Amino acid sequence: MSAIAATATRTVARDRAVAAVDTRAIAMKRRGRGRGIRTGISAAVIVLWCLAPFYWMIVTAFRDVGYTYDTAFWPTHVTFDNFTTAFSTQLGNHLGKALLNSLFIGVCVTAIALIIGIFAAYALARLDFRFKGILLGVILGASMFPGVALITPLFQLFTNIGWMGSYQALILPSISFVLPLTVYTLTSFFREMPWDLEEAARIDGCTQAQAFRKIILPLAAPAVFTTAILAFISSWNEYLISSQLSSDATQPVTVAIASFAGSQPHQEPYTTVMAAGTIVTIPLVILVLIFQRRIVAGLTAGGVKG
């Protein structure tokens, strides 16, 4: 009796166990599908969280100034007036000039920083000598300094030599701020280069300079291009130093939009600011969309390897 009961219990237990395994498998499959849906929903929420402010900026930029605080999610009272106001020199908004300034400063900074940075990164990646670690530290350590501490001395320096408000007063410090990032990114790319090819070229009779120019530089072109984009973005966005060292004639866009005037007196010129914001940010967003692979590669180049 007890034996039968025991067997019965065991069978039931086994059945239950089998059933449990089945349910678990089903549950897991269901959970898998549930998880897929949840992943999809969370991804959608994140995309919305990232994009909604942009969307709102653009909608507001095209909205009539009388309806600044209209909270309809879709575009209403569409007009181009805000863009006209943003470019209106009569109202004291020099957005056009500021865009050209930013472009000019950005191109100069990027070009010079890259030329200087390529040589330095090559030396760091390729040459073997004592105190290399310290020199790398000197170059990268410069990125750690609070920029705000440098303004007063730079202000004094440029006042003394009569450069206050000039383009070179904005470009030269900017180059030195971009250099650590440039050298860092380029060095981490250069470390991965097939340097055997350079050796081979030298055995075939190239000088070291020729080998670098003819073999390595073409191979490094994507890396250099990536670094250029990052340097340009960083220069385009610089605000703190420019806000103190630029003049009305040389001010970049970041400084211009921070001091914007609208078409209506005594009112926060939100629609105009949003129009200006759209003009300032959209080129960068387009840059990111076109070169997203490169930018992602550039940003992650230094970050992952130890």
Task: Name which of residues 124 to 183 contact another protein (CB under 8 A).
Answer: 124, 127-130, 135, 138-139, 142, 144-157, 172-173, 175-177, 179-180, 183
Q: How far is the CB of 14 from another protein (least distance, A)?
A: 22
Which residues on neighbouring strands pair with residue 246, listed in sequence order? 165
Q: Is 258 an interacting residue with respect to another protein (CB under 8 A)?
A: yes
Using CB under 8 A as the binding rule, the residues of this chain from 61 to 80 that contact another protein are 68-69, 71
Q: How far is the CB of 219 from another protein (least distance, A)?
A: 18
* Nearest residue (CB) to another protein, 6 versus 21: 21
Q: Is 49 an interacting residue with respect to another protein (CB under 8 A)?
A: yes
* Nearest residue (CB) to another protein, 88 versus 242: 242
* Nearest residue (CB) to another protein, 9 versus 210: 210
φ, ψ of residue 120 in degrees (nearest 5): -65, -45
Q: Is 254 an interacting residue with respect to another protein (CB under 8 A)?
A: yes
Q: Is the dihedral of CA 78, 84, 86, 90 positive or negative?
A: negative
Among 65, 99, 274, 275, binds another protein (CB under 8 A): 274
Among 95, 201, 233, 245, binds another protein (CB under 8 A): 233
* Nearest residue (CB) to another protein, 78 versus 289: 289
The residue type of 168 is Q
Q: DSSP string spanning 116-151?
A: HHHHHHHHHHH---TTHHHHHHHHHHGGGS-HHHHH
Look at residues 162, 161, 172, 170 and name the one whose alpha carbon lies nearest to residue 251: 170
- CA 292, CA 275: separation in Å to the nearest integer? 25
- Per DSSP, helices labelled H in 147-166 are 147-160
Binding segment for another protein (CB under 8 A), chosen from 6-14, 52-60, 84-92, 198-206, is 52-60
Q: Is 28 an interacting residue with respect to another protein (CB under 8 A)?
A: no
The residue type of 250 is T
* Nearest residue (CB) to another protein, 79 versus 126: 126
Q: How far is the CB of 80 from another protein (least distance, A)?
A: 19
Q: How far is the CB of 220 from another protein (least distance, A)?
A: 15
Using an 8 Å Cβ cutoff, are 255 and 171 in contact? no
Which residues does 35 contact at the CB level (< 8 Å), separation at least 6? none
Q: Is 25 an interacting residue with respect to another protein (CB under 8 A)?
A: no
Q: How far is the CB of 205 from another protein (least distance, A)?
A: 20
- CA 113, CA 106: separation in Å to the nearest integer? 10
Structure tokens at 215: 């073999």
Q: Is 98 an interacting residue with respect to another protein (CB under 8 A)?
A: no
Q: Which residue in this structure is represented by tokens 């050209």?
A: 100
- CA 269, CA 260: separation in Å to the nearest integer? 7
